[in-house]
Amino acid sequence: MTPTPRLKAGIFVRALLRRVQVVGASAFVVRSGAEEAGAIILKISKLDGTVLVLNQVRDAKGDLAWAQPLAGWTDEKRAAEWCDKQVKFDPDLWIVEIEDREGRTFVDEPVV
C-alpha cells in the first residue's frame, strides 16, 4: 500500500489556520519553518493552563498521524521547554499554537 502523500508544510499550516478560524477558535504560527518540508508541531491550548503537544509522524504503514510526545495534556512551561529543544534539533520546524477551550486538534489524521 502506498503511504499517504504529504502536503508541503506551508500549505498544510495555512489550511489548518483557516480551518481553526472558520469555527471561531484562534491559531497562530509561533515559528515558521521550511515552506517545502519542515516538520510541524501543534500546541493546543484549552486556555486554562493546559496544553497538548502533537508532532507529525508516519505510522507503521507510512500514513500520517500525530504523536503526543509529552503523553497527553501538560502545563505550558513543560510544552515550551520541549518545543525549544526540538527547534534546536530541527531549525526547519514549524510550531502552530491553537487556542480552543474544547481542546480540538483540527487535524484529520489519527492522534496516537
Domain residue ranges in the chain: 9-99
| 42-101 pLDDT tens trace | 999 999 999 999 998 988 888 889 999 999 999 999 999 999 999 999 988 999 999 999
Can you name the CATH fold of 9-99? hypothetical protein tt1805 (3.40.1530)
Q: What is the pLDDT of residue 6?
A: 66
Q: What is the pLDDT of residue 4?
A: 54
| 17-46 pLDDT tens trace | 999 999 999 999 999 988 887 889 999 999
Q: What is the pLDDT of residue 112?
A: 87
Give the DSSP per-residue string, the chain: -PPPPPPPHHHHHHHHHHHHHHTT-EEEEEE---TTT--EEEEEE-SSSEEEEEEEEE-TTS-EEEE-TTSS-EEHHHHHHHHHHHHHH-TT-EEEEEE-TT-----SSPB-
Q: Which grid cell sits at 76?
A: 505550558
The pTM score is 0.88
